[in-house]
Amino acid sequence: MDWHRINICRSCNDRGEQKMTQTWAILLAVLSGLLGGIGVILLKKGSKKFNLNIFQQIRNKYIILGMASCGTGMIALLIAFKGGELSVLYPIISIQYIISTLLAVKYLKEKMNLLKWAGITAIIIGIILIGLGI
């Protein structure tokens, strides 16, 4: 592939001004975060049996499903990147921490407490501030 044909800053227009991040790109980043949050719980479940023996890991269904979920999320984010800025879209996938914390309480028997709720609240406010696009 030709290095020179690759556009590095396509989020700038001809006059070098930043383009606004598109709504569809933000929605795709949210989807990516959801898939990432689910994926990481699956990976945590699979990590008990994790080692570098690829033949054993092929049969580790939690690792396979976790990677599939994270992988699909990654593709969603890749497509989202076409529609906006990295500094907007990448932080949005932190929605995965909210999902994974709630799922960890439900499925990994981890305990919820005030600090976790405070953390989730801070992340939600952070995502809203970034998502406003100003």
Partner 1 sequence: MIKLKAIGLALLCAFLAATAQIFQKIGGNNLPEITWPILIGLMLYTIGWIVFITALKDGDLTVVFPIVATSYIIAAIYAVMIFNEQITMLRWIGIALIFAGVAMIGVSRK
Return residues touching partner 1 (CB under 8 A): 1, 6-12, 18, 40, 43-44, 46-48, 50, 52, 63, 67, 70, 74, 77-82, 85-88, 90-91, 94, 97, 100-101, 104, 108, 110, 113-116, 118-130, 132, 134
**Which DSSP letter does residue 22 get?**
P
CB of 55 to partner 1, least distance (A): 16
* Rama region for 113: left / alpha / beta (φ>0; ψ in -120 to 50; rest): beta
- Look at residue 18 and give its three-state secondary structure: strand
Structure tokens, 123: 């992340």
Q: Which of 78, 110, 79, 97 is nearest to 38 (CA)?
A: 97
CB of 28 to partner 1, least distance (A): 10
